[in-house]
Amino acid sequence: MPELVFVYNADSGLLHRAFDAAHKAVSPETYRCDLCKLTHGALREKERWRAFVVSLPWPVRFLHRDDAEREWPELDVAWPAVLFFRNDLPAPAILIDAEGFSELTDVEELIGVLALHFANQIGPVQGKPVLGLTGYPGSGKSAAAAHLATRGGGVIDADALARAAFDEPAVRDELRTAFGDQAFLPDGTPDRGAIARLVFDDPDALKRLEAIVHPRVAEGRDRLHLQYAENPDVRFIVEDCPLLIEAGLADQCDRILFLDTPRDVRLARLAASRGWTDAQLAAREANQADPQTRRAAADATLDNAGPPEDLARELDALLTQWGWLDA
């Protein structure tokens, strides 16, 4: 199968930082440059860049320039570069190198140039469509995601990834350093309720928590994107994320669905399932975008106040309308 090889120098610059960020995200098992671990990867648009790389329909490999020169000494190329490799060729083709990158100023331009070269030389990029699913607590996102999964959706549950992060030993060590023993239960597991109380109304504490958990969520999301890209049973990807708009993930989605369920319905559901009070719901809503912002960002808005069969029917209608489900 054809393979893309991204080659970059161990120095600064937009392209090197972009390739480096993707290398860390997509192929961490081959990332071995200690210097770059300290100095690279602070690219502001790295989530957009990662999303593009993981959507590519070809395997991707990352090399430092010195490794590429040892592997293909006959290549006459100005680094950084993107190479296209096939097993039946003695050396990869140079799709684009430093000269083609010289006028780029941001990641969106980089993505545009790469997509154009891929389309012209090895066919169009045909990543699987991504549906962003968002809504307030109690809106029924889990039910919607479960139904979408039966229709070929590969679900990426941001909350589940965050919960899984708390099981990692390294995360627990960082939590203990950041918050002390008060963040743990007697058995040594993180006390999520206590942590929630510690960061409530404390922006600095919240930032410390996000700095620990969010990178793990991003890594989990990238892994799932890769898995779903290779799974023929997955027809589209579902980003199930309460803070989809706030986290800047909306730009990575082909469609956005907002479940705009009435608040009294949501509160009744949450009171029955989790014992939440009105104040607890209000506290969580205060940290989320307002309904007008979400409606403006959404391609579709559904009122999920009715029975599950109504939601299933409306979801199927949307998928059919978008061409993601056969009529």
Within this chain, do residues 104 and 137 fall inside the same structural domain, yes or no? no
Within this chain, do residues 99 and 149 fall inside the same structural domain, yes or no? no
Within a domain: residue 13? yes
- Give dist(CA 253, CA 47) in Å, integer: 12
Q: Is the four-CA dihedral 181, 275, 213, 198 of positive or negative sign? A: negative
What mean pLDDT comes out for the span 292-312? 93
Model confidence at 121, in pLDDT bands (50, 70, 90)?
low
Within this chain, do residues 100 and 178 fall inside the same structural domain, yes or no? no
Within this chain, do residues 149 and 106 fall inside the same structural domain, yes or no? no
Within a domain: residue 176? yes
Within a domain: residue 14? yes
**Residue 132 to residues 148, 228, 240: CA-CA distances in angstroms?**
12, 15, 6
What mean pLDDT comes out for the span 206-218? 87
Within this chain, do residues 83 and 141 fall inside the same structural domain, yes or no? no
Out of 98, 122, 146, a domain closes at 122
Residue 56 tokens read as: 């590519």
Which residue carries 């708390």 as its tokens?
A: 166
Within a domain: residue 327? no
Q: What is the pLDDT of residues 129-148, one digit of tens each?
A: 899 999 999 999 999 999 99
* 92 preceded by a cis bond (ω within 30 of 0): no
Within a domain: residue 17? yes
- Predicted pLDDT of residue 31: 57
Within this chain, do residues 144 and 278 fall inside the same structural domain, yes or no? yes
Phi, psi of 257 (to 5 degrees): -115, 125
Mean pLDDT (the chain, rounded): 83
Within a domain: residue 63? yes
Within this chain, do residues 104 and 134 fall inside the same structural domain, yes or no? no
The amino acid sitting at 304 is N
Q: Where do the H-state alpha helices sit in the chain?
A: 14-26, 34-39, 46-55, 65-71, 98-101, 107-122, 141-150, 158-165, 169-179, 192-199, 203-230, 263-274, 278-285, 291-297, 308-322
Residue 45 tokens read as: 């648009």
Model confidence at 39, in pLDDT bands (50, 70, 90)?
very low
How many structural domains compose the chain?
Answer: 2
Out of 122, 140, 159, a domain closes at 122
Out of 79, 100, 122, a domain closes at 122
Counting Cα atoms < 13 Å in the Cβ hemisphere of 7 gives: 27
Within a domain: residue 72? yes
Percent of the chain whose predicted confidence (pLDDT) is above 70: 81
- Give dist(CA 169, CA 163) in Å, integer: 13
Identify which of 135, 325, 292 has the alpha carbon closest to the alpha carbon of residue 144. Answer: 135
Q: What is the pLDDT of residues 62-119, one digit of tens each?
A: 888 888 888 888 888 888 888 887 766 677 888 888 777 777 766 677 777 777 777 6
Within this chain, do residues 118 and 135 fall inside the same structural domain, yes or no? no
Within this chain, do residues 118 and 155 fall inside the same structural domain, yes or no? no
Model confidence at 196, in pLDDT bands (50, 70, 90)?
confident
Q: Is the four-CA dihedral 80, 84, 89, 94 of positive or negative sign? A: negative
- Give dist(CA 28, CA 62) in Å, integer: 10
pLDDT at 307 over 90: yes
Q: What is the pLDDT of residues 232-244, one digit of tens each?
A: 899 999 999 988 8
Within this chain, do residues 165 and 306 fall inside the same structural domain, yes or no? yes
Reported pTM? 0.65
- Weakest mean pLDDT among 42-46, 69-73, 94-98, 288-292: 42-46
Within this chain, do residues 299 and 263 fall inside the same structural domain, yes or no? yes
Within this chain, do residues 140 and 183 fall inside the same structural domain, yes or no? yes
State which residues form the domain around 64.
3-122
Collapse the DSSP code of 42 into the 3-class scheme (helix H, G, I; strand E, B; otherwise coil) and give the result. coil
Percent of the chain whose predicted confidence (pLDDT) is above 90: 39
Within a domain: residue 250? yes
What mean pLDDT comes out for the span 201-207? 86
